[in-house]
Amino acid sequence: MILVVGGAGYIGSHLVKELIKKEDIVVLDNLSTGHREAVDSRAVFVKGDLGNEEDLQMVFRSYPIKAVMHFAANSLVGESVVDPLKYYQNNVAATLTLLKMMMKFKVKNFIFSSTAATYGIPSVEVIDESTATQPINPYGHSKLMVEQILADFSKAYGLNYVVLRYFNAAGAHSSAVIGESHDPETHLIPIVLQQLLGEREKVSVFGSDYDTPDGTCIRDYIHVTDLATAHILALEALLLGKKSAEIYNLGNGLGFSVKEVIETCEKVTGVKANVEIADRRPGDPARLVATSEKIYTQLGWKADRNLEQIIADAWKWHQNKKY
């Protein structure tokens, strides 16, 4: 069985929906930000906390876990700046407890959700895995600290791991049964779609004076189902013993500006957005675009879904949100 920690969250729930076709799954989630309804009914669900040794012991004693996939984290850059304790506690300390219990129960395979925020403000146009990691906020630091812990555990205790550094996860399952639902919502695509549905008065573009062609920030948006596929390939490589300590970027290699995303939302939905230009949001790099050449070469993964498909799936979800 595979233990999916944070399997009720946005990305975790999409992974579960794909992986359940191949593997038995236990989801551990404290539902602090996740949704019970998002967990595929074929998976075992345990409400519990990855920072709680008793919860973990119960899971590792009850189920024959052969690998752990860890999606449970706080992931808002701004919040991490004002409340770093929360980020180091939940993202680093709790992960350390999870790893400790994995070592105790001799579970040696681990897939970790990391982030483009580990790169900080990159000095290159397109980021590869050798680009220097220089986080500029506690969120990015917390993820990079875990990456370091994994490297050290690998050497000392024989932990096998794959780190996946996501760029901008977006979209929803094509069935529209699950999708993105954060409270409060801070991400660009859901905010635009909510505005188009009349759930918000306007979309604020955070800064139009960046050093980019149209002055707005450029990001690399990747469909959440493509992310799920990458996790499954990484898991298979770990279980076959083909990989033991790897880091991969997950992006589609294409950058889109905030203005281009809004225009694409208008095109896909046929609805015009009410947009205002606002101040910059602190901590936003002008451009974050990945190359995923490494995971393509080594595991054969690439993003299959483009920005229009991402937005089309998100739109189906937002028109009929289940949670």
Measure the CA–CA gap between 211 and 224, rounded to whole angstroms. 28
Nearer to ligand UDP, 15 or 188 (CB): 188
Nearer to ligand UDP, 63 or 206 (CB): 206
Nearest Cα residue to 185 out of 175, 195, 173, 174: 195
Q: How far is the CB of 262 from ligand UDP (least distance, A)?
A: 9
Nearer to ligand UDP, 15 or 203 (CB): 203
Mark whether 139 is an active-site residue: yes
Q: How far is the CB of 57 from ligand UDP (least distance, A)?
A: 35
- 87, 119, 139, 221: the catalytic one is 139
Nearer to ligand UDP, 20 or 314 (CB): 314
Measure the CA–CA gap between 158 and 108, rounded to whole angstroms. 7
Which residues contribute to the site for ligand UDP (CB under 6 A)?
77, 168, 186-188, 191, 203-206, 217, 219, 258, 281, 284
Measure the CA–CA gap between 36 and 261, rounded to whole angstroms. 30
Measure the CA–CA gap between 188 and 171, rounded to whole angstroms. 11
Q: How far is the CB of 195 from ligand UDP (least distance, A)?
A: 9
Let me know how many helices (H) and strands (E) the chain has, helices first.
Answer: 11, 14
Nearer to ligand UDP, 202 or 242 (CB): 202
DSSP state for residue 137 in the 8-state scheme: S
| 3-state secondary structure (DSSP) of residue 155 | helix
Nearest residue (beta carbon) to ligand UDP: 217
Q: For 51-88, b where at least 16 C-beta lie within 10 A, e where not — what string?
A: bbeebbeebbeebebbbbbbbbbbbbbebbeeeeeebb
Helix, strand and coil content of the chain, in percent to the nearest 5, comes to 40, 20, 40
Q: How far is the CB of 138 from ligand UDP (least distance, A)?
A: 14
| Cross-strand partners of 225 | none
Q: Which residues are catalytic?
A: 139
